[in-house]
Amino acid sequence: MTKQLEQCKLVLEKNWKGKFTIPSPRLYPFQWNWDSGFIAIGNSHLKLDRSILEIETLFSGQWENGFLPHILFHNADKYSSYFPSADYWNSSVSPFAPENLKTSGITQPPVHGFVLEHLFNLSSDKERMTKIFDKIVKYHEYLYDYREFNDSGLVSIWHNWESGMDNSVWWDDVLERIDRSKVENIELFRKDIHEVEESNNTRPKDLDYKRYLYLVNKLHDSKYERVSDYYPFQVLDPVFNTILLQSNKSLIKIGKEINRDTSFLQSQTEKGIENFSKYFWNENDSLYYPFDLISQNQINKHCSGCYIPIFAGIPSAIQIEKLVNHFEKNDNLIPIPSCFPDQKGFEKKNYWRGPVWVNMNWMVWKGLLLYGKDRLAEKIKNSTIKMVDKYGVYEYFDPYLNAKQTAGYGGANFSWTAALILDMERS
Ligand code: GLC
């Protein structure tokens, strides 16, 4: 095993808590939803049983209505280095929330279907796989029941954190809708800024954070039920929807093997793919963008998320050529910045406003292989591995090729970085 792989293995080992993996020590001391999916893929190369247990533990936090929270606060009393805390979320206001485990009240991109396909192909324990399968299907049914927009097969998100790309420039105008005067009195007890270096430049600003909490408070007040027409954050996110469609495809495949009826997922998938271009594709820019349901406009900003539909094989033969053309530009950048430097709001060190994230690169890499774009796929894979080798197993990375000094930011020993580098190296 190379030195880098040893290091990645060690990160996963250290962050393993017996039944699940934390994303990063101190900064993220609980179980996060889509993190667990990516981590399970990496761990499957080392300890398959751990990967399966990771997903089983995640679904122990599933609500009775199928909803799957973005944080499971295991041992909430033992760790106080995260805000908003379990008590702030107070999931017990919902009659559907589990009684013996505190959780958040928003979700994250539904990666579990394609993760299960990966595990299903490796595991001989089909009974265990079937139990997880049924829970994932129930979660997808929740998404279509609560979040489907106008019978489009596409679902909405109700918080920027639900996208997983917390402070992306994509959400700036949507959040601006929440007037400053409404959030000024919201109290902050932020912990993240004490856990990372240079937090002024690398984490969301306080005003942004207050807006995030404003949304949490609103959702909490409605017991984490359906939102009203006036709720300010209602967006169709191409990343969330790509991941949902890819997971549907995986569930349909698994369903055939274990004799489950997947006709509902099939028709939802067909609808979603049919409507995908209508809402997300921008012909002028040859990119996919989110669609804001309140203003009924696309959010036209060039980010790594614009490429994620490649992961689910969504672009047509023409669209994929147009998309990959973008990679011919920007020689001074490591692919793929979470926001490109010529976009309004770009900040090279700030979280999802510029830095490179390994999970996004991993999805685009996988998608390019699907399209037979092996050369570009290899290029993205190699530059991702090199970046992590040079700067360490961080949460996110400076997008400039010539970045000096430390160019890895946020949490050190970050689990999904370790897990997906392992997968890229082993595949
Ligand atoms: C940050 C990321 C989010 C991730 C979480 C835990 O909030 O933006 O995507 O799930 O950290 O790693």
192 lines ligand 1 (CB under 6 A): no
Contact 376, 365 (CB under 8 A): no
Identify whether 166 is a catalytic site residue. yes
Show me where the domains of the chain are located: 3-426
Residue 59: what are its φ and ψ, rounded to 5°?
Answer: -75, -5
CB neighbours of residue 1 within 10 Å:
10
353 alpha carbon – ligand 1 mean position (Å):
14
53 alpha carbon – ligand 1 mean position (Å):
21
Residue 319, pLDDT score: 98
Contact 215, 159 (CB under 8 A): yes
Nearest-CA residue for ligand 1 atom 4 is 164
28 lines ligand 1 (CB under 6 A): yes
How does pLDDT run along the chain (427 residues), one tens digit per residue? 799 999 999 999 999 999 999 999 989 999 999 999 999 999 999 999 999 999 999 999 999 999 999 999 999 988 888 899 999 999 999 999 999 999 999 999 999 999 999 999 999 999 999 999 999 999 999 999 999 999 999 999 999 999 999 999 999 999 999 999 999 999 999 988 888 888 888 888 899 999 999 999 999 999 999 999 999 999 999 999 999 999 999 999 999 999 999 999 999 999 999 999 999 999 999 999 999 999 999 999 999 999 999 999 999 999 999 999 999 988 899 999 999 999 999 999 999 999 999 999 999 999 999 999 999 999 999 999 999 999 999 999 999 998 876 689 999 999 999 999 999 999 8
Residue 1, pLDDT score: 74
Contact 109, 239 (CB under 8 A): yes
Residue 404, pLDDT score: 75
Identify whether 176 is a catalytic site residue. no
Q: Which residues contact 224 (CB under 8 A, 6 or more apart)?
A: 67, 91, 93, 94, 97, 105, 106
Residue 206, pLDDT score: 93
Q: Are strands 287-288 and 156-157 parallel, antiparallel or unpaired?
A: unpaired
164 lines ligand 1 (CB under 6 A): yes
Residue 421, pLDDT score: 98
Q: Are strands 156-157 and 235-236 parallel, antiparallel or unpaired?
A: antiparallel
308 alpha carbon – ligand 1 mean position (Å):
17
Looking at the DSSP assignment, which residues form a beta bridge with residue 281?
288
d(CA 208, CA 169): 11
d(CA 136, CA 212): 27
331 alpha carbon – ligand 1 mean position (Å):
28
421 alpha carbon – ligand 1 mean position (Å):
17
Contact 8, 385 (CB under 8 A): no
Best residue among 24, 26, 32, 338 to mutate for probing ligand 1's pocket (most ligand atoms within 8 Å of CB) is 32
Nearest-10 Cα torsion for 325, 248, 395, 122: -110
Looking at the DSSP assignment, which residues form a beta bridge with residue 397?
356, 408
357 lines ligand 1 (CB under 6 A): no
**What DSSP assignment string belongs to 225-284?**
-PPPTT-S--EE-HHHHHHHHHHHHHHHHHHHHTT---HHHHHHHHHHHHHHHHHHEETT
Q: Which two tokens stand for residue 168?
A: 């992306």
d(CA 30, CA 83): 11
Nearest-CA residue for ligand 1 atom 12 is 23
162 lines ligand 1 (CB under 6 A): no
Catalytic residue among 195, 395, 398, 423: 395
23 lines ligand 1 (CB under 6 A): yes
Q: In 258-399, which ranges are continuous DSSP H helix?
A: 263-280, 317-325, 358-370, 374-391
Residue 245, pLDDT score: 99
109 alpha carbon – ligand 1 mean position (Å):
11
Task: Indicate the burial class of 48 (C-beta count within 10 angstroms; 0-12, 13-18, 19 or more).
Answer: middle
Catalytic residue among 166, 192, 195, 423: 166
Residue 36: what are its φ and ψ, rounded to 5°?
Answer: -60, -35
Contact 96, 63 (CB under 8 A): yes
The ligand 1 atom nearest the CA atom of 166: 8
Residue matched to tokens 């699940």: 20
Contact 332, 402 (CB under 8 A): yes
The ligand 1 atom nearest the CA atom of 34: 10
Residue 16: what are its φ and ψ, rounded to 5°?
Answer: -75, 130
Q: Does domain 3-426 have CATH number 1.50.10.10?
A: yes
The ligand 1 atom nearest the CA atom of 395: 12
Residue matched to tokens 């009393």: 77
Residue matched to tokens 């609560």: 146
82 lines ligand 1 (CB under 6 A): no
137 alpha carbon – ligand 1 mean position (Å):
24
